[in-house]
Amino acid sequence: MWKEFRDFAMKGNMIDLAIGIVIGTAFGKIITSLVNDVLMPPIGMLLGKVDFSNLYINLSGQQYPSLEKAVEAGAPLLKYGLFLNTVIDFLIVAFVIFLIIKQINRFNKEEPPAEPTTKDCPFCWSQVSIKATRCPHCTSEL
């Protein structure tokens, strides 16, 4: 059983999956940084110097000066700014994956099968030109 498991784990598909997960995790970190550090600050500036990561709704009814203070106090919060950042992360990752898969499909596009140039004679089963009207081997009409 151990040998069977080792053979399964060492197959190319399993190793490819592990490499894909590692690269995907690193790619996710890059996208998160892109959204939080590059995209959201200019969007926040355009919308009146808003930091999306600090947007929240306090459900406790008490006032807190910042998100950090509200979290420290244990207040129930709806952190919709962080949710917006996560949604933007997801959309960017999904779009990039879409573009990558589209390119892979373009490179792996299979050519349509070529039109057949021969056919089988129904009487002697010899290969005959597709345009033939009589079999050259058995002289049957096709």
Mean pLDDT of 122-136: 89
Mean pLDDT of 116-126: 89
Helix runs in 1-142, H state only? 2-9, 12-33, 40-46, 67-73, 80-107
What is the reported pLDDT for 12?
Answer: 65
Distance CA 59, CA 53 (A): 17
Do 54 and 66 contact (CB within 8 A), yes or no?
yes
Residue 52 has pLDDT above 70, yes or no: yes
Buried b (16+ CB within 10 A) or exposed e, 31-46: bbeebbeebbeeebee
Residue 81 has pLDDT above 70, yes or no: yes
Domain 2-110: give its CATH code. Answer: 1.10.1200.120
11 against 97, higher pLDDT: 97
Over residues 9-50, the pLDDT tens digits come to 677 677 778 888 888 888 888 888 888 788 878 887 887 777
Do 40 and 52 contact (CB within 8 A), yes or no?
yes
What is the reported pLDDT for 1?
Answer: 82
Q: Encoding tokens for residue 6?
A: 């080792």
109 against 24, higher pLDDT: 24
Do 44 and 51 contact (CB within 8 A), yes or no?
yes
Domain extent listing, the chain? 2-110, 114-142
Q: Hey, which residues does 119 pair with through a beta bridge?
A: 128
Average pLDDT value over all residues in the chain:
84
Of 138, 119, 141, whose CA–CA distance to 130 is shortest?
Answer: 119
Residue 137 has pLDDT above 80, yes or no: yes
Do 52 and 66 contact (CB within 8 A), yes or no?
no
Of 96, 97, 82, 98, whose CA–CA distance to 36 is shortest?
Answer: 82
Q: DSSP label at 66?
A: S
Mean pLDDT of 39-63: 81
Residue 115 has pLDDT above 80, yes or no: yes
Q: DSSP label at 59?
A: S
